[in-house]
Structure 1
């Protein structure tokens, strides 16, 4: 008999039973410790009555934790068909509260299938994590449908999300995250917690959407100015912003931002002013 709260076998046995060696090409690193995955689930806040969208569940370590912690429904998007039989076992053990979509999270349209209130909780595959976060943060409609994002990233990416201006980690991800959300690192996860262990430490990041962005700015314009400025972050704005507009000097003047600054030294208010001026 299993000692797991859901009566399912330990994840190591599930992985062995289904031959689920992690695939590097899919950015897979499996979390096997149910105590740790339950800690991640609890970081998302009380889950009773809440629906959860999970991207890249793999064999279902975090999925099981979300269901054990009381999620009303988990919609999981999994690209690797090898994982589907293991996930089907979880669906059966949890009275159908798990629904699985086979496909790429960038194309699956899973968000449209969520019914409020809902949250996104994921140990994101490395190859797609940042791209998905940017998409969630740049949505035209705000506030978004989700209540919070509880996401696992490489520690380097987590540091960029919460960085402040003037630091080497301040970048486009910092601006986008802090423009519309409160963002903080909940806790670190050592490489040894994963199978296979990655070469870096990871961290769980919690993002909660603000009712209104901290400063007004059109999302598309903010995307353009941050991409231009941080794309050539060692250059002054009068040069780097030419990627966004031929009149970089005029843009800085209209925004009231010094043309001699580099991207590292422009704060959130400054980037939003540049976006409005653009």
Structure 2
């Protein structure tokens, strides 16, 4: 019988660490709801960051994921997660690594899969001297899940993200999504269903002229479609956090909203919101020498603030770099 999250916490003395931003969910009915929100997981490759004592992990596997790779930094949780392999076998792969470092470099493949190996298993064992990373992981997975007809690995990310690294990871995933558009044999993120602080979710889905609208909303929605699915009551966590959480759905677009380089857009948006109370003619001076002239040529009022601009207007400015 599969042990419950509460049983694993007790067996391995897994008290949530504030330094790791941990808050555990014990109610599997609720984690099942999160897994269902991610849609049909049958035959899917799923990545979960920060599984902790495994409640969401079990829900994802019970929903039919073909392969679930969990990335856990806390060595205390590895033994608890390893116990689940007795029940889920090779469908569950455990990587002990810091997630921020793990997603440092977008994975890319320059060679087709070797025809000499079968596709029945997926091995992602790391060498003793090898740093665990998404790039190295995908290199091992491609021989089992890729061929000439399916030249990319479609990855779904489902995670209750630690509060202290949620935004950092999101921007790393945006870089992977952006990079994947121009690279053959690339691992592609097909969807993300994330639990974040409600305030962060509100910042992601915000529209121009709304108080939460900022850099996060512009950059995420430039590449992806977003929507808040539901709030998460504090009572489902142990220990109960001080902030309210929410589940957000992020689906990469077929192509960006507008034809402009991601890095150029990021530079303009960062400058504009770095001093968000300043008018654009002042806020954008670090980016453009003739700021006011460019704004007028693009028919943008120099006296507006960053929070007033549509994504399309930011993109027009980015093209001027």
TM range (shorter): over 0.9
1:190-210 deviation per Cα after TM superposition (whole angstroms, max 9, x unaligned):
111111111111101001111
Distance 1:257 1:22 in 2: 49
Name segments (4+ residues, structure 1) moved above 6 Å. none
Equivalent residues in 2 for 1:11-30, closer than 5 Å:
11-30=5-24
Aligned to 1:101: 95
Distance 1:231 1:80 in 2: 34
Aligned to 1:141: 179
Aligned to 1:128: 165
1:84-118 deviation per Cα after TM superposition (whole angstroms, max 9, x unaligned):
00010112210121111111111124433345232
Aligned to 2:263: 220
Distance 1:134 1:252 in 2: 27
Aligned to 1:154: 197
- Match of 2:83, SS? helix
Q: CA RMSD in A?
A: 1.4
Aligned: 1:165 with 2:165: no
- Structure 1, unpaired ranges of 5+: 1-6
- Match of 2:284, SS? helix
Q: 1:91 to 1:254 in 2, by over 3 A?
A: farther
1:186 Cα deviation (Å)?
Answer: 1.1
Distance 2:6 2:37 in 1: 24
- Structure 2, unpaired ranges of 5+: 104-132, 139-144, 146-152, 182-186
The alignment's TM-score, normalised by the length of structure 2, stands at: 0.81
Distance 2:294 2:54 in 1: 49
- Match of 2:89, SS? coil
Q: 1:259 to 1:119 in 2, by over 3 A?
A: same
1:46-93 deviation per Cα after TM superposition (whole angstroms, max 9, x unaligned):
011001011111111111111010101111111110000001011221
1:174 Cα deviation (Å)?
Answer: 0.5
Which of 46, 49, 56 in structure 1 is aligned with 2:40?
A: 46
Give aligned pairs, total: 272
Aligned: 1:182 with 2:225: yes
Distance 2:289 2:75 in 1: 48
Distance 2:208 2:80 in 1: 44
Distance 1:222 1:180 in 2: 11
